Each structure stands twice: as structure tokens, then as C-alpha cells.
Amino acid sequence: MLTHCLIVVTAMGRSRANAAARVIDPVADVQVFRSGLSQGVGGPITHYWCGWWMTEVEIERFKQEVASIIVSGDLAFTNDLTLPSLASTSERKQDVLAALHLKRVPAR
């Protein structure tokens, strides 16, 4: 069974999270975490995030690969099962961003 995971990483932890993603999925894009987030409207990019459909085995392997990032506070990991199941994916993403006090940074 696949679970949709929303993963947010600080700009500082981004390269380690991208490397971990490539361990789990060797054909993944080099920059899995490429969507920028900021702590204020129009502010500098402080975080990156991605949405990823993963099996339970992939989720556990990814968490092992990024354990040091999680401990340092540079990564937040959630799956949609922890959020209201009736909300649309877009609403769930907004819930995660609101909980982390982050806003999307428009692509330039």
C-alpha cells in the first residue's frame, strides 16, 4: 500500500535529504526537494518540501537515512493519515505549512 507523505526540510538539511531520497529511489531527480518555502511572505527560502507516494518499507528506510536530519530538527515528516482524511490533498498541504508557520515561495 502506498501512503502520500509530505516532507519538509530546512535549507541547511536539503542536500542530505536529496541524497537520502536517491538512496530510496535511485532514479529520482537529483533535486527532489526543490519547492521553496519561507517563514514570511516574500521572505528568503528557509525550507524545501516534496510530496512522495511511498510504501511502508520506503518510509522506514527514508526515516533511517535521514535520522540525523530529524534529530537536528532540520526535517519534518508527516503522512496524510495523520491529517483530516476528508480534506483534499491541497488542503492537507496547507495544514502542514500552517503548522510549521511556512509559506510557499513562488517559482522565479
Least Cα distance to 86 among 95, 76, 98, 97 occurs for: 95
Residue with cell 507523505: 5
Structure pTM? Answer: 0.77
Secondary structure percentages of the chain, helix, strand, coil, to 5: 40, 25, 35
Q: How many domains does the chain have?
A: 1
Query: Model confidence over 7-50: pLDDT tens digits?
Result: 888 888 888 889 988 888 888 777 888 889 998 777 889 888 88
The boundaries of the domain holding residue 64 are 2-104
Domain CATH number, residue 85: 3.30.70
CB 62 within 8 A of CB 54: yes
